Amino acid sequence: MSNKKAAAIAEILKVRDQLVVMRERLFQLKAATAARTKKVDGLLIDCAGAGRVFGVRIGLPDWNNVLAMPGHQFAYSLDEELKEEMERVSTNFNWKSPEQPLDRSNNDIILLIDILATLDAWARSRPAPKRTLRQIVLERLEEAGPKGSKAAAIRGYAIDNLQCDFSIKAVGMTLNRLAKEGRARRAGQVWFPVQQGLQTEDDGAITF
């Protein structure tokens, strides 16, 4: 493979990796935003409940009438749609916000920081992904390096890390699958890792 082609592939992989991380972050932000939205919705419902205590109906918007949807294309903005919806359910909504433009920007930043804090708390509360026997076997082979390792030693290592028992056959089957994939090789009873490089499929495409 020429240096130019290798450099181009490396750049493509770099962009791919950046986009994958960005997509994961967007998913996490979506989850944090959803959690924050649920909290605010609960507070709105509390407002309506407090009004009922005093015999007053506190109108709440139907968000399906506010958020951008087919048929809403004639509204100038979501603010306009929200204004129309609140005029439908309430006669005394205060549209003259006391916020100055700078205050609103600052409050938007505070809200974003709060969402990110929610995101971080959510990420910390997620259980650590459970490692598989395959991952443990690959890890042990990489640690063993050129010295290699026997299946029995790999089994002992896996039991210690997974905190569960299984037969030597399970390790052997995993090693054989890795060998078929070109990720492990055997010399006698000793297994060795195989350094991964560019793998060409039957159709000539290079996969990573």
Query: Which residue ranges form the domains of the chain, and what is each CATH number?
Result: 3-60+96-125 (no CATH), 133-196 (1.10.10.10)
Closest CA to 178 of 202, 154, 161: 154
Closest CA to 80 of 62, 92, 97, 68: 68
C-alpha distances (whole Å) from 156 to each of 59, 139, 153 are: 65, 13, 5
Share of the chain above pLDDT 90, in %: 4
Closest CA to 97 of 89, 105, 134, 156: 105
| 208 residues of the chain, pLDDT tens digit each | 677 777 888 888 888 888 888 888 888 888 878 888 888 889 889 988 998 888 888 899 888 877 655 555 555 566 777 788 888 888 777 766 555 555 555 666 676 677 667 666 766 666 666 678 888 888 888 888 889 999 999 888 888 777 777 788 888 898 999 999 888 999 998 999 987 654 434 434 434 3
The answer to whether 51 and 20 have CB atoms below 8 angstroms apart is no
- What is the rounded CA–CA span in Å between residue 44 and residue 83? 17
- What is the rounded CA–CA span in Å between residue 70 and residue 93? 26
